[in-house]
């Protein structure tokens, strides 16, 4: 294959090395860079033929595959906002995002996908190329989702791509070359989507997993000699649950960078994966709004287990108390970050944008503290903080300790109203296959791990706990369901008594 190390991104790489493999789809179909560029150019012309102009939005309700990849790269060279939408949403939810984003066109498999746009269009590069952007919709904890919108550049993609590939290289040690990137999560989420784009701009080959299944992913890694991937902690947890003989069947020695984000990773889980795969786990912390704000490489993390890293290049950090005063190292407070790369706005919601900012500083809504060397340690979401007897309790810490028990497959810790203490700590457990542990056994397990005042006062079991495909647990939804169940039970008991 040609040396593409000096070429600024996908479009120029595809021209210089058209036979390079670009995508290995869920069914095993291989698309080369040259073939993908031809599709991308045709779709770019097709979008313009439908009247879309720079700054317009186009939505895609597309499963992971060649069409989703094509839409990302086509909108990325003609100055459009691309809005990827979760195909699991209801029609009403999809209609809301389409309407709120102002999308002038929605691409779905039923509408013919990207192929319908490409039909009859030339494969030549479109004129007047300018960089587009992805406008992701964040689910949030309450209310309707909001689009995170960044200003568009007036320059062609080749002028902006080098900055982002440099940034990713600094954070994750990813470089241009003959690498293989595995997609394990739905591309309507920001991190999997962004890593898809980055991988192509680096000349890597995309391998798209049909969906996340632990052994399927291990088999794909071994078969394609995958070198890098983006995963989330729940995936690690599920893979560690595989029997030793299953793990040993699959060669994972090709892995060099496995990036994880989206949710807190318990120390024991991350250590377990690195004991198995070697020091290949790169972590970053941020949000759809802030992008990658903190990052930590494997060796750094092994020296400081539990950290999510130091500020990424161009980022600054402050930890503030409720009055806005900066806190010293070791003191938990609200995390605020500022980037030199550029800001964002919530689409059509200046009030929400302003509420998340303190001047130029943005808060993701998380509580954390810096150590003396400037490494960030997360405590929890502000909205998930439990205050019991006037003491702050962080659910993530309790969940991490419970997950170290071999009979716990998943756990959600919530605070429920208590007239005396303010909140009572409740742990909802999804048990692993096999004998179910007793509440007493789990409390005994917690004894040497966390202080007694953090122990759950209530432990209940659930068949399953709701998580998004990227592994995020909405404790607010879990709490609402739990309180609703308790209310219904109380009403039934009251009627029975009457």
pLDDT digits (tens, 9 = 90+) for 175-217: 999 999 999 999 998 999 999 999 999 999 999 999 899 999 9
**pLDDT, position 170:** 96
Measure the CA–CA gap between 60 and 336, rounded to whole angstroms. Answer: 32
Structure-token match 């940034």, residue found: 167
Can you name the CATH fold of 10-370?
Rossmann fold (3.40.50)
- Of the listed ranges 243-252, 301-310, 450-459, the one predicted with least confidence: 450-459
For the chain, give me the number of helices (H) and strands (E)? 16, 27
Cβ atoms of 436 and 228 closer than 8 Å: no
For 385-497, CATH number?
Answer: 3.30.300.30
Domain with CATH 3.40.50.12780 in the chain: 10-370
Measure the CA–CA gap between 18 and 40, rounded to whole angstroms. Answer: 13
Instruction: Kindly report, residue by residue over 123-140, the tens digit of the pLDDT.
Output: 999 999 999 999 999 864
Domain with CATH 3.30.300.30 in the chain: 385-497
Measure the CA–CA gap between 138 and 101, rounded to whole angstroms. Answer: 12
Instruction: Kindly report, residue by residue over 384-441, the tens digit of the pLDDT.
Output: 878 787 677 878 889 989 999 999 999 999 988 887 777 899 999 999 999 999 999 9
Structure-token match 């490409």, residue found: 118
- Average pLDDT score over the chain: 91
CB atoms within 10 A of CB 185: 24
Measure the CA–CA gap between 325 and 333, rounded to whole angstroms. Answer: 10
């Amino acid at each position: 294959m040609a040396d593409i190390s000096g070429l600024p991104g996908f479009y120029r790489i595809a021209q210089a090395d058209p036979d390079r493999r670009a995508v290995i789809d869920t069914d095993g179909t291989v698309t080369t860079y040259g073939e993908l560029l031809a599709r991308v150019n045709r779709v770019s012309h097709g979008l313009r033929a439908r009247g879309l102009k720079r700054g317009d939005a186009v939505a895609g309700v597309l499963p992971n595959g060649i069409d989703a990849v094509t839409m990302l790269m086509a909108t990325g060279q003609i100055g459009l906002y691309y809005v990827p939408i979760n195909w699991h949403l209801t029609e009403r939810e999809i209609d809301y995002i389409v309407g709120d984003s102002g999308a002038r066109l929605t691409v779905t498999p039923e509408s013919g996908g990207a192929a319908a746009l490409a039909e009859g269009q030339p494969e030549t590069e479109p004129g007047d190329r300018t960089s587009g952007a992805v406008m992701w919709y964040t689910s949030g904890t309450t209310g309707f989702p909001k689009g995170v919108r960044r200003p568009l550049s007036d320059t062609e993609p080749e002028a902006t791509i080098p900055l982002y590939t440099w940034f990713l290289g600094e954070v994750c040690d990813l470089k241009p070359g003959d690498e293989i990137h595995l997609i394990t999560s739905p591309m309507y989420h920001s991190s999997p989507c962004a890593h898809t784009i980055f991988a192509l701009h680096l000349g890597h080959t995309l391998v798209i997993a049909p969906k996340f299944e632990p052994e399927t992913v291990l088999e794909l890694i071994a078969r394609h000699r995958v070198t890098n991937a983006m995963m989330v902690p729940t995936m690690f947890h599920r893979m560690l649950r595989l029997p030793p003989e299953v793990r040993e069947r699959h060669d994972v020695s090709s892995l060099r960078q496995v990036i994880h984000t989206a949710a807190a990773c318990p120390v024991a889980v991350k250590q377990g994966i690195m004991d198995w795969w070697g020091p290949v786990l790169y972590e970053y912390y941020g949000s759809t709004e802030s992008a990658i704000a903190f990052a930590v490489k494997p060796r750094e993390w092994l020296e400081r287990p539990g950290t999510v890293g130091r500020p990424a290049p161009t980022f600054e950090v402050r930890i503030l108390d409720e009055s806005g005063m900066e806190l010293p190292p070791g003191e938990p407070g609200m995390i605020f970050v500022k980037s030199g790369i550029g800001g964002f706005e919530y689409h059509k919601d200046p009030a929400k944008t302003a509420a998340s900012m303190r001047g130029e500083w943005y808060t993701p809504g998380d509580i954390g503290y810096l150590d003396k060397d400037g490494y960030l340690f997360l405590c929890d979401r502000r909205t998930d903080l439990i205050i019991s007897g006037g003491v702050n309790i962080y659910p993530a810490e309790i969940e991490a300790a419970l997950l170290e028990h071999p009979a716990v497959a998943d756990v959600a810790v919530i605070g429920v109203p208590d007239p005396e203490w303010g909140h009572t700590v409740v742990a909802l457990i999804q048990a692993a296959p096999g004998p179910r542990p007793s509440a007493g056994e789990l409390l005994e397990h917690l004894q040497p791990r966390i202080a007694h005042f953090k122990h759950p006062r209530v432990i209940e079991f659930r068949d399953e706990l709701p998580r998004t495909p990227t592994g995020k647990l909405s404790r607010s939804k879990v709490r609402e369901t739990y309180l609703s169940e308790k209310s219904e039970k109380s009403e039934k008991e009251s009627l029975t008594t009457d």
